[in-house]
Amino acid sequence: MSTRTTYLISSAVVLVLAAGVFIVRDQLSQLDDDIVRAHYQKNVNALRMFDAQALCGMLDPRYRGVDTSRVGKRIDRMELDRAKTCKGLKESMSVMRHLVKETKAEPEMQYVIESVEVSPDGKQAKVSMRMSVRIGKRLSAASRGTETLIRRMGKVLVVRSETQTTMSVR
């Protein structure tokens, strides 16, 4: 076999492999309703386990969020990046774990996905949802918002969120 033939065969193999990688990568970036709902089930499971690390792992490195929180008469608007959100998750999960231990009451959680809008190319989804958490009579929180999801190499990640939260702590 000549060097030219070997080169042509090698080039063809490389092109086929590159096309295969592109197709696989594209497939692992597609979202649909079932994939989105499975992501939120993982989210709920992590929340029930107070697993801040798992919750943080669901955020894209470029994550940006806006939360408007109401506690009593106080209203705070926070713009958050991934680092701030992960720090807040760690603190929140610690407080919730402590309250469960102190009150001996299991958290009551409700998570409702109101709508899932997958983009025409299947590369992102906008999700509207409501969530509430109650731990005995000590803590209750209700949140409503939207999240924008992407899927990278099979992993679903939140890139943006906008939420409104009302909280009561006694």
Q: What is the number of other CB atoms lying within 10 angstroms of the CB of residue 11?
A: 10
Widest Cα–Cα separation across the chain:
82
Instruction: Give the residue among 121, 127, 145 at the shortest CA–CA distance from 33.
Output: 127
Residue at token pair 């696989």: 24
Q: Which pLDDT tens digit goes with each residue over 131-158?
A: 998 888 878 889 999 999 999 989 999 9
Q: For residue range 27-44, list pLDDT tens digits in order.
A: 556 899 999 999 999 999
> Domain ranges in the chain?
1-30, 31-169
* pLDDT band, residue 7 (cuts 50/70/90): low
Torsion angle (degrees, nearest 10) of CA 84, 148, 49, 51: -30
Average pLDDT, the chain: 86
Question: Is 5's pLDDT higher than 70?
Answer: no
pLDDT over 50 (residue 64) = yes
pLDDT in tens, 86-103: 999 999 899 889 888 888
**169: pLDDT confidence band, cut at 50, 70 and 90?**
confident
pLDDT at residue 160 is higher than 70: yes
pLDDT of 25 > 60? The answer is no
For the segment 64-83, the average pLDDT, to the nearest whole number, is 93
What are residue 32's phi and psi, to 5 degrees? -145, 175
State which CATH number among 3.40.630.10, 3.10.450.50, 3.40.50.970, 3.40.720.10 fits the domain covering 31-169: 3.10.450.50
In sequence order, what are the beta bridge partners of 144?
A: 130, 164
> 26 pLDDT exceeds 50?
no
